[in-house]
Amino acid sequence: MDIDILELSDRSARFILSDVDAAFANGLRRTMLADVPTLAIDEVNIYNNTSVLYDEQVALRLALVPLLTSFDEFTPHEECSCEEGCPACTISLTLSVEAPMGEEKTVYSGDLVSADPKVKAADSNIPVVKLKGGQQLVLEAIAKMGYGHDHAKWQAGVACGYKNVPVINIEGCDLCEKCVEACPRDILALGEESAEVVDDRLLNCSLCKQCVEACGIDAISVSENDTSFIFTLESDGSYSAEELIINAVNTIRTKASTLDNILGEL
């Protein structure tokens, strides 16, 4: 197995995963999308809501706010030994905003105050509702640790996908330049003896095969490498991209060892 990181920022990553099977790559992708638990608001006790939005609507909007999560400090609610929610699987946040008389005020995700300073809205500038002068929104929100397969608000990875690394072979080229013109992503260029793949452009190939169609003498072939994948992922902010990858792999490992343990007890 080999990993080559192309880009890594706080919220997104792009890397080449090679010498693995599609089953593992797909498992990793599915895990990041649906099986890495995160915190999201699940219950809201509204004390005062004189805004224009219904209570339900406010609750839904709050639920979709990504919360910074520490993976090891919380247990997913459905696996917790409690039934009604306890400090191990839930955390309480409060929000209290009132617009001054005669002024408008927008309630932002950053107005949520949690009991644990490490848990807060991943982005503080998500608008929740706009209040007119004198309107008030006071509530307590209970965030629970849950899984993306139950609701999108618990999804940690939001744009995770991969494609196979392209393989372009050129043999017996007659320098007609048709493939260079046909390529929509400017991957090919004319070399001295044959058309060539431009340095560093190979990964941009979308395997559209327009170059193959354009070539009159079948000198070019485009295929995919079955064991190398270009992974692209984005985190919703609950974890950094790096943590998301690590947490996803840890989740798979836990599942596999749980299965092994259960079978061992049979």
User: Site residues (CB under 8 A) for another protein?
Assistant: 1-5, 8, 20-21, 23-24, 26-28, 30-31, 34-35, 149, 242, 245-246, 249-250, 252-253, 255-260, 262-264, 266
Shortest Cβ distance from residue 157 to another protein (Å)?
A: 13
Q: Which DSSP string do the residues of 192-253 spell out, in sequence order?
A: SSSEEEPTTTGGG-----HHHHH-TT--EEEEEEEEEEEEEEEB-SSS-HHHHHHHHHHHHH
Task: Choose between 101 and 266: whose C-beta lies nearer to another protein.
Answer: 266
Do residues 140 and 70 make contact, with C-beta atoms less than 8 angstroms apart? no
Rg (CA), the chain: 25
**Shortest approach of another protein to residue 85 CB, angstroms?**
20
Question: Residue 79 or 103: which CB sits closer to another protein?
Answer: 79
Question: Least distance (Å) from another protein to the CB of residue 265?
Answer: 10
Distance of CA 250 to the CA centre of its chain: 16
What's the closest the beta carbon of residue 34 comes to another protein, in angstroms? 7
Of 4 and 181, the one with the shorter C-beta distance to another protein is: 4
- Helix, strand, or coil here: 78? helix
3-state secondary structure string across 28-52: HHHHHHHHCCEEEEEEEEEEEECCC
Q: Among all chains, which residue has been given the structure tokens 């640790």?
A: 145
**2 vs 83, beta carbon nearer another protein:** 2
Smaller CB separation from another protein, 19 or 218 = 19
Q: Smallest gap, in angstroms, from Cβ of residue 241 to another protein?
A: 11
Alpha-helical segments (H) within 115-208: 178-182
